[in-house]
Amino acid sequence: MKELFLNDFKLAIPELFLISISIFLLVYGVVYSTSNLKGYPILSNNISRLALITLCFSIILVMNHPIKEAVFFSLILDDFSSFLKVLILICSFTSILISLDYLKEEKLNSFEPIILILISTVSMLLMVSSYDFISMYLGIELQSLCFYVLAACKRDSEFSTEAGIKYFLLGAFSSGLLLFGCSLIYGFTGLIHFEELAKVFSGIEHTNAIKLGILFLAVGFLFKLTAVPFHMWAPDVYEGAPNSITAFFLITPKIAILGLFVRLFLYSFYDFLFSWQVILLISSIASMILACFAAMAQKKIKRLLVYSAIGHVGYMLLAFSCGNLEGIQALFIYLVIYFIMTINMFASILSLRHVKYIADLHQLVRTNPLLSITMGVNLFSIAGIPPLAGFCSKFYLFFAAISSSLYLGALIGVLTSVVSCFYYIRLIKIIYFESPKTWIHYSTIDKEKSLILAITSFFILFFFCYPSPLFIFTHKIALTFII
């Protein structure tokens, strides 16, 4: 008993810190924002800044954790989970940072969304370090519950409430599928712990019941990742949610769910590789094809970005379905670079606050040349033009796919990436060469967003000069699955 208190809780210090601070911030927020004496102050900016500090400290706590590898209760701590935790925390940090100005301008005065972002960040930290079905499911549900509220947080907007309802229904349905998969596997093995499952499945005859359970789990995860046959909710939800929330939605849950997905399937279900590889490959190819054609027909920027995100999920699933060291490494290189490109994209879009349609970007080069250069570079990078970061990640991914003989997947990936260049470059054409019907005046970009834009653009431009840290780091993470 004593040892438990002495050491075991040290393993979860970043999570404990983050959850206690978010509870503290909740109490602080509610007490002050309803205080008659203080004149009912608006606390969204204040709490956002406190949340930023909290996330900074959590990043420091995760990075300097004295214990590198441990399994405690139903959670695990290893290089893989620490890497993803840092990524998730950075992502929450930047998405709050780029939305500071947006919250003020749009008069989203409630402070609760910030607290919900913090709590969902905690749940995502728990997700990436969960090591059995129960902690996995609870992590996913806590995160999803926060997200349903976040999607609907702009109550006077019909789009936002619709997004919340759609997200809730589809999210609950996919969680149901996931839970049914878990219960099938539990029913046929009597085990829920990932490690025990890995031991039991090594070298046994593969029964169809387990395969069915794995199928349900895969479908549940693909729903959450917005991969193609299960993507229908994504465009509406991500378009309807407020811009600052969409930026958070498009990246962070993907990191967490992909991390959990990879851990479960490559560690516990590795012996079933050939049954789930097919599912992932089909979904990946379908995502790549649908995304590249659907994005062409879009008129709204956010919807275009959502379809582009679906395509990126397709590429990531292609790397995942390799099922080997190179594949995981390519997946995480892709994830990091995708994360940076999306942050850059959303920082640009949040800088152009009133822009809804693609056509509104006409002649941005005249009104804000620097921003148009940033957007141009980023769009080239997303399209995969050398020598930008997006090209490196795609190149490495196709390289991994070819070396694990997924020729069809790699071929379709290359082709769809060529096709998708069309609509990315069309955006650049609109920004630079088309004359506008009406000129739109943009307000100046605040310091936080410009900082983020500068850092990410710098990364995108100069990644190819010194890519080895990322490569070595992701290699180290991929190795955690081998040992």
Partner 1 sequence: MTEFFPIFIYIFVSLGLSLFILGLSFVFSVQKPDPEKLSAYECGFDPFDDARSRFDIRFYLVAILFIIFDLEVTFLFPWAVTLNQIGFFGFWSMMLFLVILTIGFIYEWRKGALDWE
Dist CA 319 CA 472 (whole Å): 17
* 34 lies in the binding site for partner 1 (CB under 8 A): yes
In the chain the first and final C-alpha atoms are separated, in Å, by 31
Dist CA 409 CA 286 (whole Å): 10
Report phi then psi at 171, rounded to 5: -65, -40
Among 12, 18, 26, 310, the residue binding partner 1 under the rule CB under 8 A is 26
CB 241 within 8 A of CB 151: yes
Q: Considering beta carbons, is residue 31 or 172 the nearer one to partner 1? A: 31
Q: Considering beta carbons, is residue 175 or 374 the nearer one to partner 1? A: 175
Name the one range near partner 1 by CB under 8 A: 21-29, 244-252, 335-343, 440-448. 21-29
Structure tokens at 214: 């794995």
Residue found by looking up tokens 């096709």 in the block:
419
Contacts (Cβ under 8 Å, ≥6 apart) of 386: 395, 464
| Rounded CA Rg of the chain | 22
Taking the complex as a whole, the smallest distance from the CB of residue 42 to partner 1 amounts, in Å, to 15
Among 1, 465, 482, 483, the residue binding partner 1 under the rule CB under 8 A is 1
Taking the complex as a whole, the smallest distance from the CB of residue 138 to partner 1 amounts, in Å, to 14
* 23 lies in the binding site for partner 1 (CB under 8 A): yes
Q: Kindly state the number of chain residues that form the binding site for partner 1, as judged by CB under 8 A.
A: 8
Q: Considering beta carbons, is residue 155 or 199 the nearer one to partner 1? A: 155
Site string for partner 1, 312-341 (x = CB under 8 A): ------------------------------
Q: Where are any strands of DSSP class E within 106-243?
A: none
Q: Considering beta carbons, is residue 34 or 208 the nearer one to partner 1? A: 34
482: Cα separation from own chain's centroid: 25
For 270, which DSSP code?
G
**Alpha-carbon distance values, 418 to 205, 395, 412 (Å):** 42, 13, 10
Taking the complex as a whole, the smallest distance from the CB of residue 253 to partner 1 amounts, in Å, to 23
> Which DSSP string do the residues of 381-432 spell out, in sequence order?
HHHT-TTSHHHHHHHHHHHHHHHTT-HHHHHHHHHHHHHHHHHHHHHHHHHH
* 108 lies in the binding site for partner 1 (CB under 8 A): no
Among 10, 17, 30, 49, the residue binding partner 1 under the rule CB under 8 A is 30
Q: Considering beta carbons, is residue 4 or 209 the nearer one to partner 1? A: 4
Q: Considering beta carbons, is residue 30 or 373 the nearer one to partner 1? A: 30
* 4 lies in the binding site for partner 1 (CB under 8 A): yes
The number of C-alpha atoms within 13 Å of 473 and in the hemisphere containing its C-beta is: 15
Q: Considering beta carbons, is residue 7 or 34 the nearer one to partner 1? A: 34
Q: Sign of the C-alpha dihedral, residues 14, 20, 22, 25? A: negative
* 138 lies in the binding site for partner 1 (CB under 8 A): no
Name the one range near partner 1 by CB under 8 A: 24-32, 41-49, 96-104, 404-412. 24-32
Taking the complex as a whole, the smallest distance from the CB of residue 3 to partner 1 amounts, in Å, to 12
Q: Considering beta carbons, is residue 4 or 67 the nearer one to partner 1? A: 4
Contacts to partner 1 by CB under 8 A? 1, 4, 23, 26-27, 30-31, 34
